[in-house]
Chains A and B, each alone.
Chain A
Amino acid sequence: MRKLTDGSTSLKRRRFLQGAATTGAAAAAGCLGGGGGGSDRVPMDVTEWPPEDLESNLNLWNWYDSWAEYAIDAFGEEFDVDVSNTGYSSADQWYSQLQAGNDEIDNIAATTNWVERSIENDFLHELPVDVMPAWENITDRIKEASSYQQDGSTYAVPESLVLYPLTYNDEYFDSAPDSWGVLWDEEHEGDLCMWDNSTVSCQIAALYTGQDPIQPDDYDEIEEVLIQQKPLLQTYWGDYQQGMSLFVNEDVVAGPLTMGRTYTARFQEGAPVHYTAPQEGAMYTSDLFVIPKGAPNPIASLQFTNWASETENAAQLFETMGYQPAVDISDELSEEDAEFTNWPDEWNLVFSETLSDEVRSRYDEIWTAVKAA
């Protein structure tokens, strides 16, 4: 017993406590995350094109899975970079990583409202778009519509335009429905669907009732028409694949679906579907390439962003996924694809600006009330 109080024991105790403290500190560091890791270089260091000394790896987070597969091979081969992609289904998956301190993600394809949130929270690198040759390829329409700049700095490069149209069965309808009212038409009872998304569905109801979908003035009317619509619907779809299957299986004849899923249903699944923007208008947004702070390979990511905006590679986005790239690809398309991707000038398209907290909250309350009714 006495031995344990001598110097060697004190040493052991100190070692034990030191070890425990070190382990604890290491565990705490691991648990709390450090973030802010990554390269010493930042995209704005690039003042001439092409950038030199690309890193040998690139970690993408891009939800255009099929296009990402193409990009992994094509970009990787051209620039001798080992590319990987994480296909995500919900933006909060990558956003939470940025909140925790990114040290893994190099490049994200992010929707406008999430880009805005990321810029506000200083999660993104500024991009030297003036030295990027492919920046010239981005159409003015999408450059002006997207929200990715702050105080004269640019934090993203548009990747695609995402339209939320009315998708319909073109064998069931003789011509494209010209109003969202088709989703309230009792003639189609049981053959309609809506998107289980508070913002999208409430904005459709706002357009149908002649209101501003970004800042509506009569929430009660929106709730009322959505409740009226409920008995006419087969279901609210909550997953893109599920939504597309409803049309492919011809369970429904009309409802909201993305342009890309409509393209896949039509050209890859052979379903008799097409899309339109009703006269009341249709919402659209954009997806953009961003480079998050903490990216371990920021220069390779910048090179990738430029490469993805080259016409040939952007055209692949449409060919593989059916989404409208931010680049004019009309010369690359077949007549059939060109017809499908053409958005007539007379369409009333409303850019889906980020909603205020109040509107988003009211839309959420309405949608919950509608589903519970």
Chain B
Amino acid sequence: MTEPSRSDDGGAGSGGDPEPVTDGGSAAVDGRVSDLTAFLRERPRLRTLSIAGPPYGILVFFFAIPLLAMLVVSFQADQIGGAWTLGNYVDFLTSDTYLTVVWRTFLISVQVTAIVAAVGYALAYSIVRFSRRTTLLLLLVILPFWTSYIIRMYAWINILQSDGVLDSILNLVGLPAVGLLYTKTAVLIGFTYVWLPLAVLPFYASLTNLDGDLIEASKDLGAGPIRTFLSVTLPMTINGVITGIVLVFIPTFGSFITPRLLGGTNNVMIGMVIENQFKSAFNWPFGAAIGMVISVVVVALLLLATRFGGGLFGAGGETS
């Protein structure tokens, strides 16, 4: 047995506290804690379970079981408790309408992710490389999180609407009004604004760990700025980039508030369809089936992107 003996414990553990106990209740509590500690110490499996159990329990109770419940419901007809059926999946996967919505959602999500990644990376890079007031700038980046999502969207409505803030500024400098509200551009702007902090933080974290000497070495060896970026900076920060992409892509794919408030008549996304099944059509099983399919699709896409992206950038790094 490799566990320490009780005498070892007596010297180091709370149960062997050499200080005199002045409070009877406190001593009793200490005694119980000591007993429990000793009990667990001599049962490594139970000890591991007591440490890992709570987080795994949370995962099981609040993620795995709800997901399983959703899976079960998705195989029921019309309502919870209905007859078992594959009909919800068949209806969804054979409908041009729903697949068109999924495709549009995918395109919007890719566009948003690309924009946020580009803007967010440039912002994080600027903060790390060219700024002294890093903390202040990061605070400004996360500042919008302190305001409700809905309120931020209403702020954008005021900015983008006809004769709104943006149009007023454009008119002030002699440019024509654009009236972007209820267009796809408005949706992209709204998403970019909302998700930018989620991308900037992992980008920033990965860039701060980047060894500046590597960039200098690349330049010394004759690489230009673009090649240095593609061969050194980006590959060395790829984990942060992928984290940022995942954090942006997933919520965008499931969004329904931003396209509803800022989009016009042609910006339906699959999240809006799912929401409608639960709140208006009352067809929870069908909504659950769509949710399950979308979850699988999103996870598959991310796994593919991660593998493809990692390989691509990894290869770039090796050849440089």
Q: Interface of A with B (CB < 8 Å)? A: 1, 3-4, 9, 12-13, 16, 31, 90, 92, 196-199, 230, 233-236, 238-239, 241-242, 245, 249, 251, 357, 360-361, 363-365, 367-369, 371-372
Expressed in whole angstroms, the minimum distance between the Cβ of B107 and any Cβ of chain A is 13
Most buried by B among A198, A235, A236, A369: A235
Q: Are B101 and A368 in contact (CB under 8 A)?
A: yes
Contact partner, B268, options A4, A234, A360, A371, Cβ 8 Å: A371
Q: Are A361 and B279 in contact (CB under 8 A)?
A: no
Closest to A239 in B: B261
Q: A198-B281, A361-B283 are in contact. List 16 more A-B contacts (CB 8 A).
A: A1-B1, A1-B5, A9-B39, A196-B260, A230-B266, A234-B264, A239-B261, A242-B157, A242-B261, A251-B161, A360-B281, A360-B282, A364-B280, A368-B101, A371-B101, A371-B266
Contacts known (A16-B39, A235-B264, A242-B157); A372 close to B104, Cβ less than 8 A = yes
Residues of A within 8 A of B161 (CB): 249, 251
Expressed in whole angstroms, the minimum distance between the Cβ of A193 and any Cβ of chain B is 9
Contact partner, B277, options A196, A197, A234, A364, Cβ 8 Å: A364
Contact partner, A368, options B1, B39, B98, Cβ 8 Å: B98
Interface pairs A-B: 10 shortest CB-CB: A364-B281, A371-B268, A238-B260, A235-B182, A369-B97, A235-B264, A372-B100, A372-B101, A372-B97, A230-B265
Expressed in whole angstroms, the minimum distance between the Cβ of B237 and any Cβ of chain A is 38
Chain B, 1-38, CB within 8 A of any chain A CB:
1, 5-6, 35-36, 38
> Cβ of B248 < 8 Å from any Cβ of A?
no
A368 to B98, CA, bound (A): 8
Q: Are B280 and A13 in contact (CB under 8 A)?
A: no
Closest to A11 in B: B35
> Cβ of B276 < 8 Å from any Cβ of A?
yes
> Cβ of B246 < 8 Å from any Cβ of A?
no
A90 to B35, CA, bound (A): 52
Residues of A within 8 A of B198 (CB): none
Contacts known (A90-B279, A368-B273); A13 close to B260, Cβ less than 8 A = no
Residues of A within 8 A of B279 (CB): 90, 92
Contact partner, B265, options A233, A239, A241, Cβ 8 Å: A233
Would you mind naming 16 contact pairs between A and B with Cβ atoms under 8 Å apart?
Answer: A12-B35, A13-B39, A16-B36, A90-B279, A233-B265, A234-B182, A235-B182, A238-B260, A238-B261, A245-B157, A251-B162, A357-B78, A364-B276, A364-B283, A371-B272, A372-B268
Q: Are A361 and B182 in contact (CB under 8 A)?
A: no
What sequence of 0s and 1s flags, for each residue 143-179 of chain B, a beta carbon within 8 Å of any chain A beta carbon? 0000000000010010001110000000000000000
Expressed in whole angstroms, the minimum distance between the Cβ of B230 and any Cβ of chain A is 39
Chain B, 228-286, CB within 8 A of any chain A CB:
260-261, 263-266, 268, 272-273, 276-283
Most buried by B among A233, A360, A364: A364
Contacts known (A12-B35, A368-B276, A372-B101); A235 close to B265, Cβ less than 8 A = yes
Chain B, 303-319, CB within 8 A of any chain A CB:
none
Q: Are A3 and B6 in contact (CB under 8 A)?
A: yes
A135 to B78, CA, bound (A): 38
Q: Are A249 and B261 in contact (CB under 8 A)?
A: no
Expressed in whole angstroms, the minimum distance between the Cβ of B164 and any Cβ of chain A is 9
Residues of A within 8 A of B39 (CB): 4, 9, 12-13, 16
> Cβ of B61 < 8 Å from any Cβ of A?
yes
Closest to B104 in A: A372
Residues of B within 8 A of A3 (CB): 6
A365 to B88, CA, bound (A): 13
Residues of A within 8 A of B157 (CB): 242, 245
Residues of B within 8 A of A357 (CB): 78, 282
Residues of A within 8 A of B277 (CB): 364
